[in-house]
Amino acid sequence: MDSLAPRPLHEPHPSRLPLDHPRRDEIIAAHDAALAADEAGYLDPDTGLFVLTAAFHAGRGTCCGRGCRHCPYVNT
C-alpha cells in the first residue's frame, strides 16, 4: 500500500475487481458516472452496497487497509 503513488482513478486493481468479473462493465460505468458527478460513491450494481470512488480514497491521502474496491493506493 503506497501512499505516495496512487493508481489511475478509472482503473481498479485487478485484485479488487477482476478483469473477468461478470458485472465489471456495469461496475466501471457506475464508478465513472460517480467520478464525473463528483460524488463520493455509487450503489454497486452487483451487491447494492454503497461503494466509495477512487477519487474519494485519493482525497484521504493514504490507504485505510480495508480492501476497498477502488483504492488508488493498491499497487501489487
Closest by CA position to 31, among listed 63, 60, 58, 4: 58
Domain that holds residue 51: 1-76
Q: Which one-letter amino acid corresponds to residue 58?
A: A
CB atoms within 10 A of CB 23: 14
> The whole model's pTM is what?
0.86
Q: How many domains does the chain have?
A: 1
As a whole number of angstroms, the distance between CA 22 and CA 33 comes to 19
As a whole number of angstroms, the distance between CA 53 and CA 8 comes to 12
As a whole number of angstroms, the distance between CA 29 and CA 62 comes to 25
pLDDT in tens, 4-41: 556 778 889 999 999 999 999 999 999 999 999 999 99
